[in-house]
Chains A and B, each alone.
Chain A
Amino acid sequence: MSRVATLYRSTVGKKVLMAVSGAVLFGFVFVHMVGNLKMLFPPDAAGHYAMDVYAEYLRDFGYPLVPHAGVLWIARFVLLVAVGIHIVSAVQLARLSRAARPRGYAKEKSLSLSYASRTMRWGGVILLLFIVYHILHFTTGQAHSSFVAGAVHRNYVVAFQSPIVYGVYFVAQLALCFHLYHGVWSFFQTLGLSHPKYNHLRRPFAVGFALVVFVGFLTPPTLVLVGVVS
């Protein structure tokens, strides 16, 4: 146990927490994106939208073994813990960095690998603000112009008929795309998942993951905006 504490106390340990909590979040993001593609399907013969059926399924996942919405609440709890760990570690690491170089250079050229790596912190703040807005928008409804509980497909379509809402989601997905581009690659590096034979695949994997999530999330809203999905 004392060794695990040693790991946690080290700068590397905090990064490991960052990577593991980040992996939980990007696992969630991927599943969420796949779920949202249900918006592309037409209603069945009884007039039920695939999105609504899917939302119902999520609420009842595991029932009757667990109570209604039981698994959903467990998942929400895990995500909340992951976001909490991710943010606390980010703040600790940002403070350590500031302490390690209180005075910068008069002239400095960035040699970082990418724009994405330099914008992790501010990009993360954008994502946090977005997550709060997003929950108020589609889960609790306060930020929605005409929210109807349970009518997921309808709420979705009404929301993205507004170009402003579409713009907000577009910017957030762009921020997520950048965060994933560096985060996914960084995940392998931090956990030491490296091997000379496979290292060249890590960057393409991160690019692919970030792009699939970006395109996957934005396809349904775009089709709503142009009126193909209603």
Chain B
Amino acid sequence: MKLTLHVWRQSGPNDVGRHERYEADDVSEHMSFLEMLDVVNERLTERGEEPIAFEHDCREGICGTCGMMINGVPHGPKSMTTACQLHMRSFRDGDEIWIEPWRATAFPVLKDLVVDRAGFDRIIASGGYVTVRTGSAPDGNAMPVPKDDADAAFDAATCIGCGACVAACPNASAMLFTSAKVAHLAALPQGQTERWDRVLGMVETHDAEGFGNCTNHGACETACPKGISIDYIAQLNRDLIRATLNAKPVGNGTRG
């Protein structure tokens, strides 16, 4: 199939950037979206031009490294699918495809389609962990977890940190990501020790990183390749309100 691509090209963080038009004439419908870009890049390299920079790692939809706006939708037109798992059969011969990086102050563009998502790491570092006794491994199932809680935690834990929620959100809010991390640990007994400090810390970092405010548009949920539910955002809100209204020291007492 033949496609016309409009790809965002930006040589570095300080370049203004622009859309470049490329004709991709030898695309097979069996290729993944990233394989299609690989082929375009080969042609570019052969012509002595700079290949399009994009991030990828597992190409199995599990690592969260890939991700780009494809025709105005994070990860492209197929729901619950990462860009690496999207196949060209989702497009038709002659289609024009616009490819852009995630756009958010908190995700500055490094090059072409690659953005710096270290903001997510800093959100995790400010609460997305549990304290455990190191040494010998604890017995499996030593700590019973009700099935519903285990399921809720597992569903939240499927977030791969790709950033599609931020990209889709009209406010560039990272609440879906943050709430998935908060709710994952809050559902489990192991997560109780730092529960209140966690939500306070992670929301504080979320805001400080320059992510926007959630206004319950729900675009994140639609865009999320893992189907993370915005119910987790309600849970985060509830935990944050509880943590702030609770006057006595909470959690491990590292916050006033």
Which residue numbers of A lie inside 8 Å of B, CB to CB? 2-4, 6-7, 9-16, 93, 96-97, 99-113, 117-118, 120, 182, 185-186, 188-194, 196, 199
| A100 lies within 8 A of B104 (CB) | yes
* Residues of chain B in range 168-208 having any CB-CB distance to chain A below 8 Å: 168, 170-173, 200, 203-204, 206-207
Give the residue of B73, B213, B222 whose beta carbon is less than 8 angstroms from that of A93: B213
Closest beta carbon of chain B to A196's beta carbon, Å: 7
Report B230-256 CB contacts with A as 1/0, cut-off 8 Å. 110111111111011111000000001
Docked complex Cα distance between A141 and B237 (Å):
43
Docked complex Cα distance between A192 and B236 (Å):
7
Contacts A182-B216, A185-B216; is A111 near B168 (CB within 8 Å)? yes
| B213 lies within 8 A of A15 (CB) | yes
Pairs across A and B, CB under 8 Å, 26 listed = A6-B200, A7-B245, A11-B206, A100-B171, A100-B172, A100-B213, A104-B103, A106-B98, A107-B100, A109-B72, A111-B218, A111-B219, A111-B223, A112-B217, A112-B218, A113-B216, A117-B215, A117-B216, A120-B215, A182-B216, A189-B216, A190-B216, A192-B236, A193-B238, A194-B231, A194-B238
Give the residue of A96, A118, A194 whose beta carbon is less than 8 angstroms from that of B213: A96
| Secondary structure of the B contact surface, majority rule | mixed
Closest beta carbon of chain A to B200's beta carbon, Å: 6
B40 adjacent to chain A (CB < 8 Å):
no
Contacts A12-B237, A97-B171, A104-B103; is A110 near B219 (CB within 8 Å)? yes
In the complex, which residues of chain A have a beta carbon less than 8 angstroms from the beta carbon of B172? 97, 100-101
B19 adjacent to chain A (CB < 8 Å):
yes
| B244 lies within 8 A of A4 (CB) | yes
| A99 lies within 8 A of B217 (CB) | no
B210 adjacent to chain A (CB < 8 Å):
yes
| B100 lies within 8 A of A106 (CB) | yes
| Secondary structure of the A contact surface, majority rule | helix
Chain A: which residue is nearest B223 at the CB level? A111
Contacts A100-B105, A106-B6, A192-B235; is A3 near B247 (CB within 8 Å)? yes
In the complex, which residues of chain A have a beta carbon less than 8 angstroms from the beta carbon of B230? 189
Docked complex Cα distance between A13 and B206 (Å):
13
Q: How large is the interface on B (under 10, 10 to 19, 20 to 34, 35 or more residues)?
A: 35 or more
Closest beta carbon of chain A to B252's beta carbon, Å: 15
Which residue numbers of B lie inside 8 Å of A, CB to CB? 6, 8, 19, 69, 71-73, 98, 100, 103-106, 168, 170-173, 200, 203-204, 206-207, 210-219, 222-223, 230-231, 233-241, 243-247, 256
In the complex, which residues of chain B have a beta carbon less than 8 angstroms from the beta carbon of A186? 215-216
Give the residue of A103, A118, A191 whose beta carbon is less than 8 angstroms from that of B170: A118
Chain A: which residue is nearest B196 at the CB level? A3
In the complex, which residues of chain A have a beta carbon less than 8 angstroms from the beta carbon of B241? 7, 12, 16, 191-192
Give the residue of A16, A96, A109 whose beta carbon is less than 8 angstroms from that of B73: A109
Docked complex Cα distance between A176 and B200 (Å):
34
Closest beta carbon of chain B to A40's beta carbon, Å: 36
| A194 lies within 8 A of B235 (CB) | yes
| A107 lies within 8 A of B98 (CB) | yes
In the complex, which residues of chain A have a beta carbon less than 8 angstroms from the beta carbon of B215? 15, 93, 97, 117, 120, 186
Give the residue of B71, B100, B212 whose beta carbon is less than 8 angstroms from that of A100: B212
In the complex, which residues of chain B have a beta carbon less than 8 angstroms from the beta carbon of A101? 103-105, 170-172, 212
Docked complex Cα distance between A181 and B73 (Å):
25
- The 10 A-B residue pairs with the shortest CB-CB distance, nearest first, are A192-B238, A100-B212, A11-B213, A194-B234, A113-B218, A7-B244, A111-B219, A100-B172, A97-B171, A192-B237
Chain A: which residue is nearest B241 at the CB level? A192
Docked complex Cα distance between A118 and B218 (Å):
11
Contacts A109-B72, A189-B216; is A100 near B204 (CB within 8 Å)? no
| B234 lies within 8 A of A188 (CB) | yes
| A12 lies within 8 A of B203 (CB) | yes
Closest beta carbon of chain A to B239's beta carbon, Å: 7
